[in-house]
A and B are shown apart, each in its own frame.
Chain A
Amino acid sequence: MTAAVVTGLGVAAPNGLGTQAFWKATLAGQSALAPLTRFDPAPYPSVLAGEIKTFVAEEHISSRLMPQTDHMTRLALAAADWAIDDAGADLRHLPEYGMGVVTAASGGAVEFGQRELENLWSRGKEYVSAYQSFAWFYAVNTGQISIRHKMRGPSGVLLTEQAGGIDAIGHARRHIRKGTPLVLSGGVDSALCPWGWVPQLTTARMSTVADPDRAYLPFSADASGYVVGEGGAVVVLEDAVSARERGAPHIYGEVAGYAATLDPAPAAGRPPGLRRAAENAIADAGLTPQDIDVVFADAAGVPELDQAEAAAVTGLFGRRAVPVTAPKTMTGRLLAGGAALDVATALLALREGVIPPTVNVRTPAPAYGLDLVVDQPRDSNLRSALVLARGFGGFNAALVLRRCDH
């Protein structure tokens, strides 16, 4: 079976716009968590976010497209452009049906949606944008990216909340294996408006701590929930043979294993599915747990979820047997963008031989038994990385990435 390799990265993260800026900030431990500025959070119990503050949409999006697109879609279009540039892929030479787009979504383009709901209910139906029908919906990023780059091949949109970035990339690999040479995949998301904020507050999983350095502390004894951010990553996935034939400038790594599971119903009394997803993904890669050199954790920052993830990791690898990290402590959790950004981070870690740190967690709770990489990056000869993600409702996804040696 053909290998699917990542040949391009497009990163839009709160602590760095573009791969270089993001990676530099990530290794330096620079967190972007701060009081919200996109809207006044004062009425709400959670006031922090990981915002992208340096993105100027007009530099990337035509004036014709601006009124048709939400902030989330503009970020996704820019990240897709960067990923293609990075891959050095001259799309004119690829068959139009040989390129696809698979993205993850969570709540759609919610800021656009809130504006149009407000227009409808406060002013009347004549004031609803002609673009509302497609600008807010979950498929918008795949649709717009496919139009922009004339990608007419097998595509898709998957919804598994925070697990979506991995599921999208796992699905893109299916298309590669069935003969589509190039698939753009990943997730870029944003819900930083009041109508995006309030639904998230109802989960009681968002931290209400106001100090950015103390709010999101996964695997810590004083974990109090997570901070929400915006952004994500788009990756170019290619068939390894055709990537090498065209002389792709970078081969960041291979998507070697993928699996998804669902937790049982709350009253079923059966174990949750994260460990099973990790086991299946490792087996899918033809590896054993001993072959995994680093785990990028889901790192919910919610005590019972941290406990469950730590149990899955230590159950599979043993106590303190594999380095675990959560660079998302610098960005917040990015909804459908989060797992995609973790995949990009893990690929950079594989290439550079360094594990980026988990920030602000001084001392992980000893009971979890995790070797959490805290404060400073850790140099390590990395061959394979496991990325874990969980989506609201019991969704689990795991991806195994393998370094490609030339």
Chain B
Amino acid sequence: MTALRRVAITGLGAVAPGGIGVKEYWELLTAGRSATRTISFFDPSPFRSQVAAECDFDPVSAGLTPQEIRRLDRAAQFAVVSTREALADSGLLVDRLDPGRIGTSIGSAVGCTTSLEREYVVVSDGGRKWHVDHEYAVPELYRHFVPNTMAAEVAWVAEAEGPAAVVSTGCTSGLDALGHAVELIREGSADVMVAGATEAPISPITSACFDAIHATTPHNDEPERACRPFDRTRGGLVLGEGAAIMVLEEWESARKRGAHIYAEIAGFAARCNAYHMTGLKPDGREMAEAIDAALHEARLSPQSIGYINAHGSGTKMNDRHETGAFKRSLGAHAHDVPISSVKSMIGHSLGAIGSLEIVACALAIEHGVLPPTANLHTPDPELDLDYIPLTAREQQADVVLSVGSGFGGFQSAMLLTRPGARS
């Protein structure tokens, strides 16, 4: 039996609401500033929820070429830009590696939905034609129809020819894509994985389907205060968008080349609640099972956890569910662990958010600063844990847990450890 291969995070890239790039993203989070605003991409007035966390993303100044801009959906553009940032940050010289040993794993819940809806409106002539008109179809349409093409685009940037896939497990896609990448490195299918997630879901069809089930918040009057996880006045989630791509490397080879290691991905597990496509039980049983399994895989104790990056979507159902899960898995220690939700600031970017949250966790470890939960002014008396209200906290965490929960019943948990925190 060979020694277990470990996985290091050696490069970070992000496109997030409030700023393009990892530096801007971290500044937003540590300032406790919210990037949610009234939707500007389309007229939101017909919708119950009219707020979202939009990215001020200009593809030209982000360095994309005219052909890339034409070919790529907004989500794929985010992914490509983030990939370039992550590769540069890692210092990895991909042209010196065997391309077959570099893999790609990209999470996305709804793929290229923005482009698909835009093109649907044209080929259906505004919804008038069931027999949509192929003569108006753009050549890129199939690339948008099958979003696995986004993984290929990322791979091309990284000159990667190893295993590649889009992982699409709803709102846990961003954690599950990273978990998939970790598995590929551990089993030896790849030495380097370019992994993360992307989403650009802010479009009328997404707003309509979340409106229909009252999942999104009606707090339209104070857009920057729209997302209020763990707050008694919460009204639902706020849609977001963005991408986070990371360079993951086999630990020993990363050390040998002298790479800067942000953190180790020490454990990951995913479970299904097999309960309901959108509903959650308050006991958090299956999320707790995922946390327990991730701890087991990482050979860490619940008491070692120093920070929890919560799912914190801003719904009452979620707040109870995950608070229940943390208590189930961590026992009394749950009361001692600082918890926060960055969705209070960057909204819920569906499949991308899990990876954006892992970037936040890696930086929390790096800087010894825990991002806060914005808009948490009136704590819910039924929630009795430490949810870091309003301002970032300077506190070193050696072991960080991040969790996600999504439509389809998916529950995922990932553990990061500070390099050097364990031998």
Interface of A with B (CB < 8 Å)?
Answer: 39-40, 43-45, 68, 96-97, 100-101, 105-108, 110, 114, 116-125, 128-130, 132-134, 137-140, 142-144, 146-147, 149-161, 164, 167, 171, 174, 194-195, 197-203, 259-265, 268, 270, 273, 276, 391-395
Other than the given A151-B274, A270-B161, 7 more pairs (CB < 8 A) read: A130-B213, A157-B169, A159-B167, A160-B165, A198-B141, A261-B163, A265-B159
B187 touches A174 (CB 8 A): yes
The verdict on A117 contacting B146 (CB below 8 Å), with A133-B210, A143-B277, A262-B163 known, is no
A199 touches B142 (CB 8 A): yes
Contacts of A200 in B (CB 8 A): 142, 145
Indicate whether B302 reaches chain A with its CB closer than 8 angstroms: no
A sample of 18 inter-chain contacts (CB < 8 A) reads A101-B272, A107-B145, A110-B145, A121-B124, A125-B204, A125-B208, A132-B205, A133-B209, A133-B278, A134-B408, A137-B168, A140-B277, A159-B168, A160-B148, A199-B141, A259-B189, A265-B159, A276-B100
Pick from B134, B213, B410: contact of A44, CB below 8 A. Answer: B134
B164 touches A260 (CB 8 A): yes
A158 touches B165 (CB 8 A): yes
The verdict on A160 contacting B212 (CB below 8 Å), with A198-B132, A392-B142 known, is no
A139 touches B141 (CB 8 A): no
B164 touches A43 (CB 8 A): no
Contacts of B142 in A (CB 8 A): 199-200, 202-203, 392
CB proximity of B286 to chain A, nearest CB, Å:
6
A268 touches B159 (CB 8 A): yes
CB proximity of A306 to chain B, nearest CB, Å:
20
B180 touches A263 (CB 8 A): no
Most buried by B among A261, A263, A268: A261
Pick from B104, B132, B212, B274: contact of A194, CB below 8 A. Answer: B132
A121 touches B121 (CB 8 A): yes
The number of inter-chain residue pairs (CB within 8 angstroms) is: 267
* Cα-based distance from A286 to B159 in the complex (angstroms): 28
* Cα-based distance from A154 to B411 in the complex (angstroms): 10
A152 touches B289 (CB 8 A): yes
* Cα-based distance from A395 to B148 in the complex (angstroms): 9
Contacts of B408 in A (CB 8 A): 134, 137, 139-140, 142-143, 146
Indicate whether B41 reaches chain A with its CB closer than 8 angstroms: no
Indicate whether B126 reaches chain A with its CB closer than 8 angstroms: yes
Convert B143-167 into 0s and 1s, putting 1 for each residue whose CB lies closer than 8 angstroms to a CB of A: 1111111011001100111111111
CB proximity of B284 to chain A, nearest CB, Å:
13
Interface residues of B in 29-86 (CB under 8 A from A): 46-47
Pick from A39, A107, A121, A395: contact of B152, CB below 8 A. Answer: A395
The verdict on A147 contacting B276 (CB below 8 Å), with A139-B109, A139-B170, A264-B99 known, is yes
Contacts of A68 in B (CB 8 A): 277
B127 touches A120 (CB 8 A): yes
* Cα-based distance from A39 to B164 in the complex (angstroms): 34
Indicate whether B269 reaches chain A with its CB closer than 8 angstroms: yes
CB proximity of B239 to chain A, nearest CB, Å:
12
A260 touches B131 (CB 8 A): no
CB proximity of B200 to chain A, nearest CB, Å:
15
CB proximity of B318 to chain A, nearest CB, Å:
15
Contacts of B207 in A (CB 8 A): 125
Contacts of A44 in B (CB 8 A): 134
A125 touches B277 (CB 8 A): no
The verdict on A262 contacting B137 (CB below 8 Å), with A137-B109, A137-B168, A158-B165 known, is no
Most buried by B among A101, A121, A153, A161: A121
Indicate whether B139 reaches chain A with its CB closer than 8 angstroms: yes
B148 touches A392 (CB 8 A): yes
Contacts of A43 in B (CB 8 A): 131, 133-134
The chain A residue sitting closest to B156, CB to CB, is A265
A154 touches B271 (CB 8 A): yes
Contacts of A45 in B (CB 8 A): 134
B148 touches A139 (CB 8 A): no
Contacts of B208 in A (CB 8 A): 116, 120, 125, 128, 132
Contacts of B131 in A (CB 8 A): 39-40, 43, 194
Contacts of B124 in A (CB 8 A): 117-118, 121, 195
Interface of B with A (CB < 8 Å)?
Answer: 46-47, 99-100, 104, 109-111, 117, 120-121, 123-124, 126-134, 137-149, 151-152, 155-156, 159-170, 173, 176, 180, 183, 187, 189, 204-205, 207-213, 215, 269-278, 286, 289, 293, 406-410
* Cα-based distance from A198 to B120 in the complex (angstroms): 10
Contacts of A265 in B (CB 8 A): 155-156, 159
A201 touches B187 (CB 8 A): no
* Cα-based distance from A159 to B124 in the complex (angstroms): 26
The verdict on A142 contacting B169 (CB below 8 Å), with A121-B127, A125-B211 known, is yes
* Cα-based distance from A167 to B189 in the complex (angstroms): 13
A264 touches B269 (CB 8 A): no
Contacts of A276 in B (CB 8 A): 100, 161
CB proximity of A263 to chain B, nearest CB, Å:
7
Contacts of A120 in B (CB 8 A): 127, 204-205, 208
CB proximity of B364 to chain A, nearest CB, Å:
27
Contacts of B141 in A (CB 8 A): 198-199, 202
* Cα-based distance from A262 to B204 in the complex (angstroms): 34
The chain A residue sitting closest to B214, CB to CB, is A130
The chain A residue sitting closest to B123, CB to CB, is A198
A263 touches B289 (CB 8 A): no
* Cα-based distance from A201 to B123 in the complex (angstroms): 13
Most buried by A among B111, B166, B293, B407: B166
B167 touches A161 (CB 8 A): no
The verdict on A143 contacting B407 (CB below 8 Å), with A133-B213, A155-B169, A262-B163 known, is yes
CB proximity of A171 to chain B, nearest CB, Å:
8
CB proximity of B151 to chain A, nearest CB, Å:
8
* Cα-based distance from A9 to B192 in the complex (angstroms): 35
What 6 pairs between A and B have smallest CB-CB spacing?
A121-B127, A143-B408, A122-B127, A199-B145, A138-B168, A265-B156
* Cα-based distance from A150 to B146 in the complex (angstroms): 29
Contacts of A393 in B (CB 8 A): 143, 146, 148-149, 151-152
* Cα-based distance from A270 to B99 in the complex (angstroms): 10
The verdict on A152 contacting B165 (CB below 8 Å), with A120-B208, A128-B212 known, is no
The chain B residue sitting closest to A170, CB to CB, is B163
* Cα-based distance from A326 to B28 in the complex (angstroms): 55
Contacts of B168 in A (CB 8 A): 105, 137-139, 157-159
Pick from A116, A133, A138, A155: contact of B272, CB below 8 A. Answer: A155
B146 touches A161 (CB 8 A): yes
The chain B residue sitting closest to A117, CB to CB, is B120
CB proximity of B315 to chain A, nearest CB, Å:
13
Contacts of B271 in A (CB 8 A): 97, 152-155
The chain A residue sitting closest to B160, CB to CB, is A262
Pick from A116, A134, A156, A262: contact of B270, CB below 8 A. Answer: A156
Pick from B46, B160, B272: contact of A146, CB below 8 A. Answer: B272
The chain B residue sitting closest to A110, CB to CB, is B145
CB proximity of A128 to chain B, nearest CB, Å:
4
The chain B residue sitting closest to A144, CB to CB, is B277
CB proximity of B201 to chain A, nearest CB, Å:
11
B149 touches A118 (CB 8 A): no
The chain B residue sitting closest to A138, CB to CB, is B168
B146 touches A155 (CB 8 A): no
